[in-house]
Structure 1
Amino acid sequence: MISWRKHYRQTLIAIGLLLSTSASIYGQDGDPKNGEKLFKANCTACHALDKQVVGPPLKGVVERVKTEGGVDKDWLHKWIKNNKELRASGDKYANEIFEKFNKTEMQVFPNLTDKDIDDILAYTTNPPAPEEPKKDATVQAGTTDGAQAAPQSSTTTNVVIISLLAIAALLVWILLKLRQLVKLGQSEDLAGLNETRVKSFSEIYAKYHYVGKGLIAILALLATYGIWNWIMWIGVYKGYKPEQPIYFSHKIHAGEQKINCQLCHSSAKYGKVSEIPSMNVCMNCHRTISEYNAQHYMEPGKDKAFYDGEIQKIYAATGWDPAKQQYTGKTQPVEWTRIHNMPDFVYFNHAQHVVAGEQAIINSFNKKNPDNKIDVVCKACHGKIDTMNVVQMANDFTMGWCIECHRTTEVDMNNGYNKEYFKNLHDKLKKQYPKDGGKITVDAIGGLECGKCHY
């Protein structure tokens, strides 16, 4: 009986130890997959797994703090939730870390639960293997198009060859006919006709001078029109897309990452000119993004090494040392190639269009282009920038193009300022154009006055 009770007690102890061990494994280790999401949402601004960014690398941080400072997960919980409070309590290891990293303040995360922190630490201890990248739909489409283009290209080649053979046959036939005519001209039957033929250009002109003068006048008109048309298109470079010193894809930044245009072009909304962003604007993100990890989107002919190399050009331009996480002071100016360049005699104010005319321009554009609508006013002039890998001039930017926009863009008269300021004009136009309900377009409020656009 005693032996049975002893055996029973040992069994209970073993089961208890097993349960407590299981609880420790499954309750404290956390979920690495959920930890990865939380890590990317909260930590990647300052940390990476395998290298120093603003803060130290976090791979194996649980074991590292145990070895370096003799602390456990509970200490990490306190540090992550409120490191300031932990340092203020006089914790030696917390203050050592603070001093080691140049007294850089770490953000506090009181919103993270104990389970969230366990999940993050599980991710840093045992990060899940990366998923196989999916091929971009655009690339797949490009591959399919390429496969279909092969037979089309072959067909085109055959058509060209047949056309060339037909032209060759026609030339041979013309040569044979010319030979027959030469022989006929040498016969006695045409001797009389040869005597009556006009033998000089002056004789031909004297005989048909009215026709000649008419042809010369037509040619002069055509030449004048051609020269005028050529002059009018000087400086119009629609489709111009130069290669820049640092490759920058608007499709990746504005399209894939949904970065707002005005984050980089901040003066476009409140200034006359939309400036080229400083390289320090790029560093706001690329201080922590040192390599290209968007394997789901790669342009044809470009690989990860290419994109990583372009990021290194940013570091070289700003004098940033990614290994030491500090600026060296040695900078290199970037000579960007300008794409849009208004003549000196033209006045154009970005703020006037982006702020005052924003909704009116978007509404007008979408009304004229129902199948190609826009959601940002910038796209009305610059095209769908968020789909461009290499920025190009999307419109003519001629005087006629601007005037046409002023004639068709309706002013928002429900705006309190416009409603009061143009009250008399609005009443006048209602009477003048009763069918249109007195609609006011930009040209009606001075949009065609020379002085508005020219100094």
Structure 2
Amino acid sequence: MISWRKHYKKGLIAIGLLLSTSASIYGQDGDPKNGEKLFKANCTACHALDKQVVGPALKGVVDRLKTEQGLDTDWLHKWIKDNKALRASGDKYANEVFEKFNKTEMQVFPNLTDKDIDDILAYTTNPPAEEPKTDAKATAANTVAAPQNNNTTSSIVIISLIAIAGLLVWILIKLRQLVKLGQSEDLAGLNETRVKSFSEIYAKYHYIGKGLLAILAILATYGIWNWIMWIGVYKGYKPEQPIYFSHKIHAGEQKIDCQLCHSSAKYGKVSEIPSMNVCMNCHRTISEYNADHYMEPGKDKAFYDGEIQKIYAATGWDPAKQQYTGKTQPVEWTRIHNMPDFVYFNHSQHVVAGEQAIINSFNKKNPDNKIDVVCKACHGKIDTMNVVQMANDFTMGWCIECHRTTEVDMNNGYNKEYFKNLHEKLKKQYPKDGGKITVDAIGGLECGKCHY
């Protein structure tokens, strides 16, 4: 009896040690759900669970370090909080990791508590199962209309076909009666009085004919003139691009500033097409698409992932080795907004000098469709477009109308001093408007401003 109790106690102690060791090794002390939030907020810029990004894949990192290096979670705590200090202390493995990953310094996280790090490690050891995604196809299959609805539809189709068949039979009968009537002697008298040529009709009604011809000539002339005036106006034009890029996802959902990609719009004449290196600022670490609620109808995850791979092919990026191969493929974008050679337009003049004036003017004219970024005044609500299209006419009349209605801000320091004398003159010239000065009043309608 004593021997059994002795072995029982030893067994309990062994089980307790095993469980505590297992918990320590596998990071079970933390909360994986909270760890997932912390991981996404602090780690996903450089790490993923199942593949190397900037840094190594982190799934099972606790067990891997224990098995391969004999290191416990205390080492991971030191590395995460201040890897620079750990390397400076001469830690061999810390310096090996630094050398292995091209001497790319990992960000330090002194703000993370020991509990936070335990939660992150618990997430890398035992990630919470993803919630099952709703299969759109299965849902559609499960929402097939009830049999009685199908029967009702079939009945309507059959009745319609019978009605059409009856109508056709009635028309055939009437045509047969007309043929018989034409073959009778009752129409002989009518045939003698019938006009037998077009010239007789024209001679009889030539005034009406000339009037109709005049009207047709006027309509034809107007049609040709209208067609000529709209040559080169491509409002609604939205060509397919070699790499699919959704402004709705980037500018709308992700709130990326327009000028982060189109940087020259602020200080240059032309708003350039961003280079592929600009795309790689983000997509070096974003190699797949995981936002189901942003998907455009008819497109799935495989489609978006494939477009990201096109970016890698264009820049010569090898995501597996996390380095550039030097083999690039230029992307032939299709230009959408293209001013004629004889038109001068300066983006910086509108984006910087006229920014607030344009926004105020647009919102005043469109109280139910206000904008918050000056770009939208010309390019439309770009943050709602999956495929970019030309939102306005971009004709000379369209530009002139904007210059006539956009009020210049004369209260800022530069305009107030530079246009001081002009301001006083225009106050007297336009007293009914309270001295308001629009762009046309300061030379906005001069030919040389836009044509040179």
**Fold in common (TM above 0.5):** yes
Q: Answer whether contact 2:35 2:123 (CA < 8 A) is retained.
A: yes
Which deviates further from its counterpart, 425-434 or 370-379?
425-434
Which deviates further from its counterpart, 413-422 or 25-34?
25-34
| Shift of residue 183, structure 1, vs aligned partner | 11
Q: Answer whether contact 1:139 1:300 (CA < 8 A) is retained.
A: no
Percentage identity across aligned positions?
A: 93
Summarize the Cα distance change of 1:192–1:278 in structure 2 as closer, same or farther, 3 Å threshold. Answer: same
| Shift of residue 10, structure 1, vs aligned partner | 12
Q: Distance in 2 between the 1:410 and 1:202 partners? A: 64
Which deviates further from its counterpart, 98-107 or 393-402?
98-107
1:283-332 superposed Cα distances (whole Å, 9 cap, x missing partner): 11111111111122322221111111111111111111111111111111
Q: Distance in 1 between the 2:253 and 2:108 partners? A: 30
Which deviates further from its counterpart, 227-236 or 28-37?
28-37
**TM-score, structure 2 length as denominator?**
0.82
| Aligned counterpart, 1:258 | 255
Summarize the Cα distance change of 1:373–1:187 in structure 2 as closer, same or farther, 3 Å threshold. Answer: same
| Aligned counterpart, 1:150 | 146
| Shift of residue 444, structure 1, vs aligned partner | 1.0
| Shift of residue 175, structure 1, vs aligned partner | 12
| Aligned counterpart, 1:41 | 41
SS in 2 for 1:111: coil
| Shift of residue 384, structure 1, vs aligned partner | 0.9
| Shift of residue 93, structure 1, vs aligned partner | 1.1
| Shift of residue 385, structure 1, vs aligned partner | 1.0
Which deviates further from its counterpart, 63-72 or 251-260?
63-72
| Shift of residue 225, structure 1, vs aligned partner | 1.2
| Shift of residue 428, structure 1, vs aligned partner | 2.5
| Aligned counterpart, 1:175 | 172
| Shift of residue 208, structure 1, vs aligned partner | 6.5
Q: Answer whether contact 1:265 1:274 (CA < 8 A) is retained.
A: yes
Q: Answer whether contact 2:316 2:328 (CA < 8 A) is retained.
A: yes
Q: Answer whether contact 1:136 1:296 (CA < 8 A) is retained.
A: no
| Shift of residue 453, structure 1, vs aligned partner | 0.9
Summarize the Cα distance change of 1:178–1:225 in structure 2 as closer, same or farther, 3 Å threshold. Answer: farther
Q: Answer whether contact 1:269 1:355 (CA < 8 A) is retained.
A: yes
Summarize the Cα distance change of 1:156–1:259 in structure 2 as closer, same or farther, 3 Å threshold. Answer: farther
Does residue 1:205 correspond to 2:229, yes or no?
Answer: no
Summarize the Cα distance change of 1:157–1:276 in structure 2 as closer, same or farther, 3 Å threshold. Answer: farther
| Shift of residue 185, structure 1, vs aligned partner | 11
Q: Answer whether contact 1:135 1:296 (CA < 8 A) is retained.
A: no
Q: Distance in 1 between the 2:353 and 2:428 partners? A: 26
Which deviates further from its counterpart, 444-453 or 25-34?
25-34
Summarize the Cα distance change of 1:81–1:135 in structure 2 as closer, same or farther, 3 Å threshold. Answer: same
Which deviates further from its counterpart, 83-92 or 3-12?
3-12
Q: Answer whether contact 1:136 1:298 (CA < 8 A) is retained.
A: no
1:174-206 superposed Cα distances (whole Å, 9 cap, x missing partner): 999999999999999999999999877667767
Q: Answer whether contact 1:61 1:125 (CA < 8 A) is retained.
A: yes
| Shift of residue 227, structure 1, vs aligned partner | 0.6
Which deviates further from its counterpart, 358-367 or 5-14?
5-14
Q: Distance in 2 between the 1:407 and 1:209 partners? A: 50
| Shift of residue 159, structure 1, vs aligned partner | 13
Summarize the Cα distance change of 1:5–1:202 in structure 2 as closer, same or farther, 3 Å threshold. Answer: closer
| Shift of residue 216, structure 1, vs aligned partner | 3.8
1:105-143 superposed Cα distances (whole Å, 9 cap, x missing partner): 2222222222222221121111112x4378799999999
Summarize the Cα distance change of 1:305–1:21 in structure 2 as closer, same or farther, 3 Å threshold. Answer: closer
| Aligned counterpart, 2:55 | 55
Which deviates further from its counterpart, 443-452 or 201-210?
201-210
Q: Distance in 2 between the 1:155 and 1:236 partners? A: 49
Summarize the Cα distance change of 1:444–1:171 in structure 2 as closer, same or farther, 3 Å threshold. Answer: farther
1:51-70 superposed Cα distances (whole Å, 9 cap, x missing partner): 01111111111121222222
1:246-291 superposed Cα distances (whole Å, 9 cap, x missing partner): 1111111111111111111111111111111111111111111111
Structure 1: give runs of 5+ residues left out of the alignment: none
Structure 2: give runs of 5+ residues left out of the alignment: none
| Aligned counterpart, 2:296 | 299
Q: Distance in 2 between the 1:151 and 1:224 partners? A: 58
Summarize the Cα distance change of 1:189–1:316 in structure 2 as closer, same or farther, 3 Å threshold. Answer: closer
Q: Answer whether contact 1:134 1:296 (CA < 8 A) is retained.
A: no
1:402-443 superposed Cα distances (whole Å, 9 cap, x missing partner): 111111111111111111222222222322333321111111
Q: Distance in 1 between the 2:221 and 2:208 partners? A: 20
Which deviates further from its counterpart, 230-239 or 416-425?
416-425
Q: Distance in 1 between the 2:169 and 2:13 partners? A: 108
Summarize the Cα distance change of 1:19–1:167 in structure 2 as closer, same or farther, 3 Å threshold. Answer: closer
Q: Distance in 2 between the 1:55 and 1:396 partners? A: 49
Summarize the Cα distance change of 1:124–1:196 in structure 2 as closer, same or farther, 3 Å threshold. Answer: closer
1:161-184 superposed Cα distances (whole Å, 9 cap, x missing partner): 999999999999999999999999
Of residues 415, 419, 435, the one that matches 1:438 is 435
Which deviates further from its counterpart, 51-60 or 8-17?
8-17
SS in 2 for 1:435: helix
Q: Answer whether contact 2:25 2:62 (CA < 8 A) is retained.
A: no
Summarize the Cα distance change of 1:117–1:55 in structure 2 as closer, same or farther, 3 Å threshold. Answer: same
Which deviates further from its counterpart, 205-214 or 220-229?
205-214
**TM-score, structure 1 length as denominator?**
0.81
| Shift of residue 226, structure 1, vs aligned partner | 1.0
| Shift of residue 4, structure 1, vs aligned partner | 19
| Shift of residue 2, structure 1, vs aligned partner | 17
| Shift of residue 345, structure 1, vs aligned partner | 0.8
Summarize the Cα distance change of 1:368–1:138 in structure 2 as closer, same or farther, 3 Å threshold. Answer: farther
Q: Answer whether contact 2:336 2:390 (CA < 8 A) is retained.
A: yes
Summarize the Cα distance change of 1:183–1:212 in structure 2 as closer, same or farther, 3 Å threshold. Answer: farther
Summarize the Cα distance change of 1:225–1:133 in structure 2 as closer, same or farther, 3 Å threshold. Answer: farther
Q: Answer whether contact 2:38 2:116 (CA < 8 A) is retained.
A: yes
Q: Answer whether contact 2:408 2:437 (CA < 8 A) is retained.
A: yes
Question: What is the Cα-based RMSD across aligned positions, in Å?
Answer: 5.1
